[in-house]
Amino acid sequence: MIRVLIADDEALMRAGIRLILENDDEVRIVAEAQDAREAVEACRVHPVDVALLDIRMPGDGITGAAEIARHSPRTRVVMLTAFGEEPSVTRALRAGAHGYLLKDTGPRDLIDAVRRAAAGEPVLAPQVTRQLVDFRVRSGHGSDAAARRIENLTPAERNVLRLMGAGLSNAGIAAQLHLSSGTVKAHIGSILTRTDCTNRVQAAVLAQQAGLLG
């Protein structure tokens, strides 16, 4: 069972997400929150596997993500965002968020994202990732800097990072590269260390910034 927290100041948004997720027999909504403080407290009180946090809710969703990462490290935080919020998404990733979704994500993609987050996989809305990469390039932290961060990776690690950037799961990477799951995990650990990324989502964004996806 995947235990989920929904945190958004709009009651209709929370209700819509709940309605979608409750159609999955493996998902259970254990708490709702309307601001960051309530979200943090809910993760302390309830065992939460995935927390869906509005990036702009009262109390600041990013602050909430940082507090949850600090006090409830087993909880995977996925930010709910909108177009044009690249700086906020960057701050959320640095705060410890494990991914980001657009608020208008379709039902099937939302359920899949929750499942992937619970499994420790990166959750990346492609449209937001593209915006994030463009923003980083415009702000002077784009492709050149990203290329330098991956220059010490082995060819095998680059291949794994490329598929992480494409959003593949560990199982998908293993199948694509004909590797064992243990080898994939070892490569990912090395990639995070060598590139100074704190989580898989940052590594996946780095792959896109470095042009590994073409």
Give the residue extent of every domain in the chain. Answer: 2-133, 142-209
What is the reported pLDDT for 6? 98
Q: Residue 26 is encoded by which pair of tokens?
A: 């493996």
Percent of the chain surpassing pLDDT 70: 89
CATH class of 142-209: mainly alpha
Q: Give the whole-angstrom CA distance, residue 112 versus residue 115.
A: 5
Q: Give the whole-angstrom CA distance, residue 88 versus residue 27.
A: 28
- Please enumerate in sequence order all residues whose Cβ is within 8 A of that of 154, keeping only pairs 6 or more positions apart, or say none: none
CA dihedral 189, 192, 194, 198 (to 10 degrees): -140
Q: Which amino acid is at 187?
A: H
Strands (E), 82-206: 99-102, 123-124
CA dihedral 52, 55, 60, 65 (to 10 degrees): 50
Q: What is the mean pLDDT of the chain?
A: 88
**Fold of domain 2-133:** Rossmann fold (3.40.50)
Question: Shortest CA distance to 93 belongs to which of 114, 117, 69?
Answer: 69
- Summarize pLDDT for 62-116 with one digit per residue, the tens: 999 999 999 999 999 999 987 656 677 778 887 888 888 888 889 999 999 999 8
What is the reported pLDDT for 28? 97
pTM of this structure: 0.75
